Amino acid sequence: MYEREINRYLDRMVDGHQLASKDEWKGFRCVLFDMDGVLYNSMPNHAVAWQQAMSANGLHFTAEDSYATEGMKGVDTIRIYAERQTGKKLTEAEAQAIYDEKARLFHQMPEAGIFDGVVDLMKQIREAGLTICVVTGSGQKPLIQRLVYDFGDFIDEQHIVSAYNVSHGKPAPDPYLKGLELAGNMKPWEGIVVENAPMGVRAGVAAQIFTIGVNSGPLPDEALAREGANVILPSIRRLADDWQQLMAYGPAKRG
């Protein structure tokens, strides 16, 4: 599976003139992880917090909406839903107030656990000599601080892209392009994006990075496939188990 999909991806890079030929590809050099729903089993908590905060402000927002918009900057999500449902264009400050309430509700909930397979996968990535970055749409500083605490053996604050680092969040490509920059000014074909949400997959594909969809939520695989995910897996554990197989396809095996 991985050899076939990497080949298809490289063919598109050549056809689009990003690469002169497959011989120019020297293998993957970095992995860019989304946070919620990829590293942490936090999306159920986010869904409840979103529903409560939006309902308190007269907006209808379902659990499915929280998964479908996950990865976007929170204030952008609020402004889009407010205008769609009420016709009102919220100011940045008005949307931020609703997002702050959503964050407050979220942090009252039990702490979400790390998904099985994440630490194992990061160890393998580090041993393979690849750089790890986290690319999240979150603007909640406690969550970003937790990343450094939980994964300090693999990342530091200089390798985290958050809502504070970009003007245009997912599904724009900007967050993942920023991730490539923080990883060492790498080219799109040198990176792997690991995402769980349609908007995040769209962002990774728009950045022209090989994108793996990990479907940890209730949306069908088709929701990730429609956005162009190169590979779709059922869990991060599966990716950890498959890592050596994925890395086995390198420059020496191009064809």
pLDDT digits (tens, 9 = 90+) for 148-177: 999 999 999 999 998 888 888 899 999 999
What torsion do the CA atoms of 149, 151, 157, 159 make, to the nearest 10 degrees? -170
User: What pLDDT shows up at residue 254?
Assistant: 46
- The mean pLDDT of 86-101, rounded to a whole number, is 95
In sequence order, what are the beta bridge partners of 232?
A: 213
CB 96 within 8 A of CB 75: yes
User: What pLDDT shows up at residue 74?
Assistant: 87
Q: Is the pLDDT of residue 45 over 70?
A: yes
User: What pLDDT shows up at residue 252?
Assistant: 43
Contacts of residue 235, defined as CB under 8 A and 6 or more positions apart, other chains included, come to: 115, 116, 117, 214, 216
Q: How many residues in the chain?
A: 255
Q: Which two tokens stand for residue 195?
A: 């995402």
Domains of the chain and any CATH numbers: 2-41+113-253 (3.40.50.1000), 43-107 (1.10.150.240)
- The DSSP-derived string for 86-137 is H-----HHHHHHHHHHHHHHHHTSPPPPBPTTHHHHHHHHHHTT-EEEEE--
